[in-house]
Amino acid sequence: MAYSSRRVPNALTWLFLAALGAEAATRLWLAARQIRHVSAHRDSVPASFADSIPLAAHQKAADYTAAKTRLGMIDVLVGAAVLLVFTLGGLIQWLSDAWSAVFATGSIAHGTALLLSIVFVQALIGLPLAAYRTFGIEARFGFNRMTLRLFIADLVKHAVVGLVLGVPLLLAVLWLMGKMGTYWWFYVWLVWIAYSGALMMIYPALILPLFNRFTPITDGELAARVARLLERCGFKSSGLYLMDGSKRSSHGNAFFTGFGAAKRIVLFDTLVSRLQPPEVEAVLAHELGHYRLHHIAKAMALSAAVSFAVLWVLGQLIGHSWFYEGLGVRTATDAAALALFLMVLPEFLFFVQPLLSRYSRKREYEADAYAKSHASAAELERALVKLYQDNAATLTPDPLHSAFYDSHPPAAMRIARLEAK
């Protein structure tokens, strides 16, 4: 072919570049605001925390936040560069050509090899930043408990689990794309829903134990308090477990896993060692609130609706050569379409982030209100202050940065609501 009917770059190229530029510029601007705001408030603890949080802890939180945000800025720049190299830079095309020497272009084997090699290259590029996050920043602020050996062991385990769980899904998706005609995207959606449901069921019993040890908590004040709380809230669970989170980090947490009557409550050992039993009870009441108010079910329904819409859009794009050419790919295969779409889509959805964050903050207030009516608001408040201090979470975030990204309301606002009648 001497002449191509369509020129590269096309309109999609410019649209993509505009979206990528707008996203990166907004992220960097918000990060700069956050660093400025936190640093400006570094030298005085906000009045409502003046007698619960010492100045030194407040300053540590400011420095920790600034360090993490700075790393985030590097992440934005690296991410944008990597995305450009993969797409317009021709790396996806190059990998596709390279695999064409081994497998028939467009076959399931070719597609699987292409997608796995893309994931591998991305993981490799992300590794230095992940290592710096753990052994640089987390270690500098005294949070890291991870040895290099554990870091590498985790990496290998994650890769194996990812391959075992991911490759069958990939094969199923590529097969459906090749065989199901125009409505392939609908079949892929069905498979995706079934797959994520199955994953949620096997996760607590099969995946989590690969990374942590779980010990049942059966007696003592904590177990008795939790049992009474569950009864008050009409909640059935298959047990309360202590997780050895301290082998990786000193950050504390609590969560629920599993479905129906197989739900387990998991407390990090780091949380239990820092909080008094009534405080743990209040934190759990908040988590129970998320369940009782159907936040989990709503989030799952939302994600099912979003994946339906997203797959439909890909279904419309996949047959057009401008979609591939505009993003730097000449060989139009199903796998290339998947890769391009999944990489480029986040740029176009970035400005939905504030809406999602706002939705999530609303849910947090609701869970706090639930905790207030089923446990003690004063204990939850004490627990939150300890957690903010222990995690060096800033009490003075930039309001715009917080509105854009934060899934949880700022500390002062949460506590004001807990104290309100």
- DSSP assignment, residue 236? -
Token pair of 22, please? 């707008």
Give me the residues paired with residue 264 across strands: 257
List, edge to edge, every strand of the sheet that includes 214-216: 214-216, 240-243, 264-268, 254-257
Q: Which is nearer to Zn ion, 324 or 370 (CB)?
A: 370
Residue 367 engages Zn ion in binding (rule: CB under 5 A) = yes
The C-alpha angle with vertex 48 and arms to 411 and 138, in degrees rounded to 5, equals 45
Q: Which position among 279, 281, 287, 347 bears the catalytic label?
A: 287
Residue numbers 294-353 binding Zn ion by CB under 5 A: none
Query: Is residue 201 within 8 Å of residue 300, measured between CB atoms?
Result: no
Residue 411 engages Zn ion in binding (rule: CB under 5 A) = no
Shortest distance (Å) from residue 356 CB to Zn ion: 15
Residue in this structure with the two tokens 């497998």, named with its chain if needed: 103
Shortest distance (Å) from residue 36 CB to Zn ion: 28
Q: Which is nearer to Zn ion, 17 or 412 (CB)?
A: 412
Number of residues counted as binding Zn ion (CB under 5 A): 2
Comparing CA positions, the residue from 217, 213, 212, 366 lying closest to residue 277 is 217
Among 241-249, 330-338, 367-375, 378-386, which window interacts with Zn ion (CB under 5 A)? Answer: 367-375
d(CA 222, CA 215): 14
Q: Which is nearer to Zn ion, 329 or 367 (CB)?
A: 367
- The answer to whether 287 is a known catalytic residue is yes
The C-alpha angle with vertex 167 and arms to 185 and 175, in degrees rounded to 5, equals 40
Q: Which position among 23, 281, 364, 368 bears the catalytic label?
A: 368
- The answer to whether 281 is a known catalytic residue is no
- DSSP assignment, residue 395? S
Q: Which is nearer to Zn ion, 78 or 403 (CB)?
A: 403
Shortest distance (Å) from residue 290 CB to Zn ion: 6
Q: Which is nearer to Zn ion, 154 or 390 (CB)?
A: 390
Query: Is residue 48 within 8 Å of residue 415, measured between CB atoms?
Result: yes
Shortest distance (Å) from residue 127 CB to Zn ion: 31
Shortest distance (Å) from residue 409 CB to Zn ion: 10
Among 97-105, 321-329, 341-349, 361-369, which window interacts with Zn ion (CB under 5 A)? Answer: 361-369
Among 79-87, 159-167, 300-308, 362-370, which window interacts with Zn ion (CB under 5 A)? Answer: 362-370
Taking phi over 0 as left and psi of -120 to 50 as alpha, with beta for the rest, 97 belongs to alpha
Binding site for Zn ion (CB under 5 A): 364, 367
* Active-site amino acid positions: 287, 368
